Amino acid sequence: MNTELSKRAVACKGWRWMPGMAYLHRGFTYRIGSVVGSSYDDECIPDLDDPATLGCLLHIVREAWGDRTIVVSWSGVCWVCDIHSNAGGSEAEALVAALEAAP
């Protein structure tokens, strides 16, 4: 797992924790059942290799851009998020770049 990418995601102004996400905390992986206030500390990072967490990240990107039609696809060379052509070596990288560029 790319912990730096996870930290970049959490640092975005549009970031939020969502039910169903997996996260790592002090070497253990957990799944969020519900989100209560700001109960997740700075040591919690999302597991962007987890499919449910990746789906939540896509939802967060769509919210941040106000566009429910945003998609991520493989271009044959890299992953591309269709909003402002944010690209990355993985689907998660493309989504984090899109979240970082969100207005």
Instruction: Return the domain boundaries, the chain.
Output: 3-101
pLDDT of residue 33: 86
Question: 């209560």: which residue's tokens?
Answer: 36
- Is-contact 33 19, C-beta < 8 A? yes
pTM of the predicted model as reported, rounded to 2 decimal places: 0.90
Question: 């990240």: which residue's tokens?
Answer: 57
Q: In whole angstroms, give the CA distance from residue 61 to residue 97.
A: 10
The three-state secondary structure class of 80 is strand
Q: How many CB atoms within 10 Å of residue 29?
A: 12
Hey, what amino acid is at 17? W
pLDDT of residue 36: 64
Mean pLDDT by 10 residues, the chain (103 residues): 93 94 92 73 89 97 95 88 81 94 92
pLDDT of residue 38: 57
